[in-house]
Each structure stands twice: as C-alpha cells, then as structure tokens.
C-alpha cells in the first residue's frame, strides 16, 4: 500500500489512516455505486472530520487514483510472468484475473476508466504486458499498441458488464443475469428486428465469461503474427 500511495502522504499516521480512507471509499463504492464515495461519506466511515481526509489526499481525484492503484495492486503478476507458459495463455490469465478482481467492485470500475491510469501499479501492469508481447516477437511499437488494444478490450468489456448491474446489491450471479437478459430480449418483435430476435440466445450471454473469452481469443488470433 505504501508504494501505491506514494505522493499522497502527509501527517504522522500515514500508513494506517491512508489505508483506512481507501478501504472506506472502496466499501462505499461497493455498497452504493460510483457516486457513493464522497469525501464527507468517507470521513464518516473512517470516523474523522472531512478535513482530516485532505490531510492525506488533496482531493477526491487523489482518493480515486489510490483506489485504482489498490485494486491493480491485487493482481498477481505471477499468473502471467512464467516464461515457460505460452504467451497467449499468459495474456488470457491476466485478462481473466482482471475481470474477476474488478467485477467484484463494480462501483469502482467507472472511476477507473474515468481518468488516466498512470500510477505505479498501473504502469507496472502495462510494463508486464508489453514484456509478454516483446517475448513473443513483437517490436516495441507494436507491443505498445497491442498492449493498449488489449487494455481497451478488457476494461471496456468490464465497464459495459458492470454498467448493466446498476445499483443492484448484492450483484446477481452470471447465470441469473443471463436468464434476466434472455427474458428481456425474448420480447423483441421478430417482424421489426428479425436478426436480433433470432440471436436472443447469443445476446443474452454477452455478459458471460464465455463471451469475454471469445472476444479476447479473436483479438489474440488477429495479433498472433506480429507485423514485419
């Protein structure tokens, strides 16, 4: 935690109070969605005056950045660091872990993509991803562009997925969400939208792990042969 909050520290109780603030903000996001983590709400959760939050974070944007770093810091780099594992599999492991970590905190996902992810943990993640691509034969420029493509797909997919959840607490299971989507799409009038009506079973599963991996594999198929 100390590394990810570097640059925000002030005051004598740095580590514990900063940790408490980030955990409180994340808890509020989990319970109430993206708009729940106000400075006043965070202070109340921690049990301090609002001004005390500013002792450690200059503004809410700094709190958000710390939350992003906190969540990205939970990603286990070991799952995609083994050079003996095929590069495509390593990227798949990373993508799956990111989805699992972030969908567990849907209220934080919108905040993550609402600003630049340029903290040390975010940069380390991007660095590891480019290392995997470089080891697969990608030139530096292509590795950087491909890394961005993969990050856009992963975070974009996750953002669309959690946006559909709204403020549902607790979040329904994947099977429940697919069933609800199928029920909703089943009312599509076939005479007006024949292709959509015929694809209801597929559309209902857009939020599934199967669809997520299908999209990831299509991207990996397309980039499997680095440009020469």
CA distance 108 to 28: 10
pLDDT of residue 64: 87
What pTM does this model have? 0.81
Give the residue among 101, 5, 123 at the shortest CA–CA distance from 55: 5
Domains 14-72 and 77-164+207-223 share a fold: no
Positions of the chain with pLDDT under 70: 1-16, 166-169, 225-228
Q: Which fold has domain 14-72?
A: Arc Repressor Mutant, subunit A (1.10.10)
pLDDT of residue 10: 46
pLDDT of residue 12: 45
For the chain, the domains span 14-72, 77-164+207-223
Q: Which fold has domain 77-164+207-223?
A: Tetracycline Repressor; domain 2 (1.10.357)
Over the stretch 124-163, which tens digit does the pLDDT of each residue have?
Answer: 999 999 999 999 999 999 999 999 999 999 999 998 888 8
């Amino acid at each position: 935690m100390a590394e990810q909050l570097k640059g925000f520290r002030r005051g004598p109780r740095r580590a514990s109070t900063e940790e408490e603030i980030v955990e409180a903000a994340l808890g509020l996001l989990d319970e109430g969605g993206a708009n729940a983590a106000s400075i006043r709400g965070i202070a109340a959760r921690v049990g301090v005056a609002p001004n005390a939050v500013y002792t450690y974070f200059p503004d809410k944007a700094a709190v958000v950045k710390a939350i992003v770093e906190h969540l990205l810091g939970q990603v286990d780099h070991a799952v995609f660091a083994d050079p003996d594992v095929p590069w495509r599999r390593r990227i798949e492991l990373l993508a799956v872990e990111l989805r699992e970590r972030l969908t567990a905190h849907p209220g934080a996902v919108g905040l993550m993509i609402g600003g630049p992810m340029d903290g040390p943990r975010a940069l380390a993640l991007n660095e590891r991803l480019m290392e995997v691509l470089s080891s697969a034969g990608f030139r530096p420029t292509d590795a950087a562009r491909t890394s961005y493509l993969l990050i856009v797909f992963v975070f974009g997919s996750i953002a669309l997925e959690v946006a559909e959840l709204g403020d549902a607490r607790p979040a329904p299971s994947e099977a429940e969400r697919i069933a609800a989507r199928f029920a909703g799409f089943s009312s599509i009038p076939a005479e007006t939208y024949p292709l959509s009506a015929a694809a209801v079973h597929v559309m209902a599963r857009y939020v599934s792990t199967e669809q997520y991996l299908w999209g990831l594999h299509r991207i990996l198929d397309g980039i499997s042969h680095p440009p020469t």
